[in-house]
Amino acid sequence: MDKIALIFSGQGAQYSGMGQQLREYSPAARAVFEIADSLRPDTSRLCFSGSDEELKETKNTQPCLFCVDLAAAAALREAGVEADLVAGFSLGELAALTYAEAMTTEEGFQLVCRRGELMQKAGEINKSSMAVVLKLQDEVVNVLCNQVDQVYPVNYNCPGQVVVSGIPDGLQSLKGIVKEAKGKTMPLGVSGGFHCKFMQPAAERFSKELKEYAITSPKLPLYSNVTALPYYNDDPKELLARQIISPVLWHKSVENMISAGATTFIEVGPGRVLSNFVSRISDQVRCYHVEDIESLKQTIAEVKYSA
């Protein structure tokens, strides 16, 4: 049976103006922004007119992206397009959990705000950054990272693309050996080296704070970044804490979603980064995205026509 997978955008996809059209057009999307602004009054302003520097700060990026991701999903749901299974990239996993009713919108937003603050602080303590390695197989990138001090493969995105986290000197050294291996590196505009041991202080503190929240099992199959498998009997809180210091197994997650029957992937949130990954992983599925009025209307028309 054909299934629809919603995939929630992650950090790096942000841009000034994101979500503004959705808020103006969809009552369901507007409600998400109103909740966010009631808890963090500057959220809509940052999404709609924040500077690149403001939006690059992790403490701002994460709540803003969560808000736009969830607003796009809410607009789809309002139009009668429901997901059969879901996944989110890094912070997008919290939006996916909220969509799957494992927690309320208020709880999800409060958690992602705290997550962003803790990860930014950890990044300031452990001076590190991230880069994407292109044109090399995952196994080759793993070997090359082992040759460099304090550089780790952290996001397995799609064939020929792995993101690494590392200290500045380590990333510079990696650039040279990647070039020798016929690959290419590109720096990413983030404020820390995420999904590895640099984030240990954030993971430990986040684990303690998660205890204050009543997070339940998601009501839809939700594929974890940590395991690439659905949350079954796993403790959502434990997985969310581990996720901060664990590689994002996106490539494997998408393959597992396809094996479970996903034939249509809809990226909700700014940009098309994740849907482009999916297209590179498989040419046997349909990919759409929702970030503004035009893409919302087009996706609704296409999905309902093909149903």
Specify whether the backbone of 183 is left (phi greater than 0), alpha (psi in -120 to 50) or beta. beta
CA 4 – CA 188 distance, rounded (Å): 30
Q: What is the mean pLDDT for each group of 10 consecutive residues in the chain (307 residues)?
A: 92 95 98 98 97 93 98 98 98 98 97 96 91 97 97 98 97 97 92 93 96 93 97 89 97 98 98 97 97 98 81
The SS3 of residue 186 is: strand
For residue 86, the SS3 value is strand
pLDDT given at position 307: 61
DSSP state of 248: B
User: What integer pLDDT is reported at residue 304 of this predicted model?
Assistant: 80
- Cβ neighbours of 53 (radius 10 Å): 8
Residues forming the active site: 90, 195
Nearest to 177 by CA among 138, 153, 146: 146
Backbone dihedral angles phi then psi of residue 189, each to the nearest 5 degrees:
-85, 70
Return the CATH fold of 3-124+196-306.
Answer: Malonyl-Coenzyme A Acyl Carrier Protein; domain 2 (3.40.366)
Predicted pLDDT at 122: 94
What distance in Å separates the CA atoms of residue 18 and residue 22, rounded to the nearest whole number? 9
User: Quick one: fold of 127-187?
Assistant: Alpha-Beta Plaits (3.30.70)
Q: Where are the domains of the chain?
A: 3-124+196-306, 127-187
